[in-house]
């Protein structure tokens, strides 16, 4: 059985729930769009770019077609032709494309009524540019022909558009252009160097041994509410000079917390050390003159009566005491040992003490099991010896 801790209520105790892990599908990255920024002809005025003949077989009286400035102006229409053929969506283009029209080879036939028909072959060199790069992503050459059907003899722009459109379609099918449209791979974060756990230096504190009984009323005076931002938890005074134990998930990343005592007074607390895996933390504050709770080193026994004191849900309920029995002396969850008990705790009890009948601390409240948000009287506590060991705390003297 696998238990996973989750925070069902931000300011309080983590809950235990059975959860299934799901797969995460990576969203495919969209191809980049492109637009034609510039189109130029390499022909000079007067250059031959095809023939115009007559007759049914287009073989009578062939005349050379000469390039002029009027025809060169047809390149102004090419960006619209490019967009309609390649990028009909309204997406903002990312890549800029420059086209140089080189060789033209037209074979046109004059029809009656000043109409013309024929085919135009065109060679285009394409340069694909990204806004953040100086060098082209790709240079592609295409060669395709266009046929505009019948057109007016004095307006050859449609056949130029048809040949250019055919070259755009050839560009779209070119592997180098398709590769340029793919977004560059996202930079992979540099692997973090492995974190080497540095053991905490031993800290010797004036812990009180569980030799003399303490009434539960006296013990309650040493149980505090701990506020770390929006998080509410509980804590227990373990030394006369102001050291408190609580859960690491209560303090979180906070360096300082507010400690509220049973009489309502507040003192600032410094988070001295913490252990995330064992979920324990040590806080230092300036306490009022109160007797710290004793630490019991002897393990609990099955069916032993135990008591929990803490601040369930909100600070108005600070000092709430509940009673139960030890249900399991050692329950192992994710490799960690816990005391299991039916003593009632809830969100906000985190870090509060689990006491024996003589008022000595035997554990710290840490987890509840409530599948679907329904408590099951199955609650878990960090054994006090485990908490002290994780924080490298030893008794003084």
Mean pLDDT is highest, among 76-90, 193-207, 208-222, 254-268, for 254-268
Domain-located, residue 297: yes
Tens-digit pLDDT profile for residues 166-220: 999 999 999 999 999 998 888 888 888 887 778 889 999 999 998 878 999 999 9
| Domain-ending residue, one of 134, 152, 181 | 181
Q: What is the mean predicted confidence (pLDDT) over 109-137?
A: 90
- Please tell me whether residues 149 and 220 are part of one structural domain: no
Domain-located, residue 289: yes
Tens-digit pLDDT profile for residues 294-320: 999 999 999 999 999 999 999 999 999
Mean pLDDT is highest, among 30-39, 57-66, 242-251, 365-374, for 242-251
Does the pLDDT of residue 138 top 50, yes or no?
yes
Integer Cα distance of 318 and 244 in angstroms: 16
Domain-located, residue 214: yes
Per-residue burial over 175-192, b if 16 or more Cβ lie within 10 Å, else e, is eebeebbeeeeeeeeeee
Provide the pLDDT for residue 245.
98
Provide the pLDDT for residue 30.
79
| Domain-ending residue, one of 181, 209, 224 | 181
Range of the domain at 366: 4-17+199-395
Kindly state the DSSP code that residue 350 receives in the 8-state scheme. T
pTM for the whole structure: 0.56
Confidence of residue 29 (pLDDT cuts 50, 70, 90): low
Number of structural domains (the chain) is 2
| Domain-ending residue, one of 181, 210, 228 | 181
Does the pLDDT of residue 4 top 60, yes or no?
no
Residue 44 CB burial class (10 angstroms; 0-12, 13-18, ≥19) = exposed
Domain-located, residue 192: no
Residue 155 CB burial class (10 angstroms; 0-12, 13-18, ≥19) = exposed
CATH number where 315 lies: 2.40.10.120
Provide the pLDDT for residue 15.
43
Kind of pairing between the strands at 203-205 and 393-395: parallel
- Please tell me whether residues 54 and 12 are part of one structural domain: no
Residue 372 CB burial class (10 angstroms; 0-12, 13-18, ≥19) = exposed
Helix then strand then coil, in percent of the chain rounded to 5, is 15, 40, 45
The partner residues of 363 in beta bridges, in order of sequence, read: 383
Integer Cα distance of 311 and 234 in angstroms: 6
The SS3 assignment for 375 reads coil
- Please tell me whether residues 282 and 352 are part of one structural domain: yes
- Please tell me whether residues 145 and 245 are part of one structural domain: no
Integer Cα distance of 296 and 126 in angstroms: 81
**Contact (Cβ atoms closer than 8 angstroms) between residue 231 and residue 11:** yes
Provide the pLDDT for residue 131.
86
- Please tell me whether residues 204 and 321 are part of one structural domain: yes
Provide the pLDDT for residue 198.
80
Integer Cα distance of 340 and 213 in angstroms: 24
Per-residue burial over 261-290, b if 16 or more Cβ lie within 10 Å, else e, is bbeeeeeebebebbbeebbbbbbbbebeeb
Count of helix runs (H) and strand runs (E) in the chain = 7, 25
- Please tell me whether residues 242 and 136 are part of one structural domain: no
CATH number where 88 lies: 3.40.50
Provide the pLDDT for residue 17.
36
Domain-located, residue 46: yes
Count of CB atoms within 10 A of residue 91's CB?
11
């Amino acid at each position: 059985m696998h238990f996973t801790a989750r925070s069902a209520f931000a300011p309080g105790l983590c809950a235990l729930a059975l959860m299934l892990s799901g797969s995460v599908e990576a969203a495919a990255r969209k191809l980049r769009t492109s637009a034609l920024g510039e189109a130029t002809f390499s022909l000079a005025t007067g250059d031959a770019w095809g023939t115009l003949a007559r007759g049914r077989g287009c073989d009578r009286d062939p005349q050379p077609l000469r390039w002029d400035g009027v025809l060169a102006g047809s390149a102004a229409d090419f960006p619209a032709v490019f967009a309609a053929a390649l990028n009909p969506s309204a997406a903002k283009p990312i890549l800029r494309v420059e086209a140089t029209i080189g060789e033209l080879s037209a074979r046109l036939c004059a029809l009656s009524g000043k109409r013309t028909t024929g085919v135009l072959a065109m060679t285009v060199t394409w340069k694909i540019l990204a806004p953040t790069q100086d060098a082209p992503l790709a240079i592609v050459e295409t060669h395709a022909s266009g046929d505009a059907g019948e057109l007016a003899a004095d307006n050859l722009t449609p056949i130029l558009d048809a040949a250019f459109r055919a070259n755009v379609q050839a560009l779209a099918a070119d592997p180098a252009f398709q590769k340029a449209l793919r977004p560059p791979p996202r930079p992979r974060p540099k692997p973090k160097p492995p974190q080497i756990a540095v053991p905490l230096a031993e800290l010797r504190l004036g812990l009180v041994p569980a030799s003399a009984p303490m009434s539960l009323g006296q013990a309650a005076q040493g149980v505090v509410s701990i506020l770390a931002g929006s998080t509410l938890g509980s804590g227990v005074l373990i030394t006369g000079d102001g050291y408190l134990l609580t859960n690491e998930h209560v303090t979180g990343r906070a360096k300082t917390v507010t400690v509220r005592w049973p009489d309502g007074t507040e003192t600032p607390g410094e988070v001295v050390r913490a252990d995330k895996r064992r979920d324990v933390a040590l806080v230092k504050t300036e306490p009022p003159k109160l007797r710290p709770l004793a630490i019991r080193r002897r393990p609990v026994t099955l069916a032993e009566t135990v008591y929990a004191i803490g601040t369930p849900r909100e600070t108005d309920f600070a000092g709430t005491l509940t009673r139960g029995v030890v249900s399991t002396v050692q329950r192992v969850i994710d490799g960690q040992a816990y005391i299991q008990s039916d003593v009632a705790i809830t969100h906000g009890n985190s870090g509060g003490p689990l006491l024996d009948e003589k008022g000595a601390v035997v554990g710290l409240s840490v987890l509840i099991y409530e599948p679907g948000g329904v408590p099951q009287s199955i609650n878990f506590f960090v054994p006090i010896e485990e908490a002290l060991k994780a924080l490298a705390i030893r008794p003084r003297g």
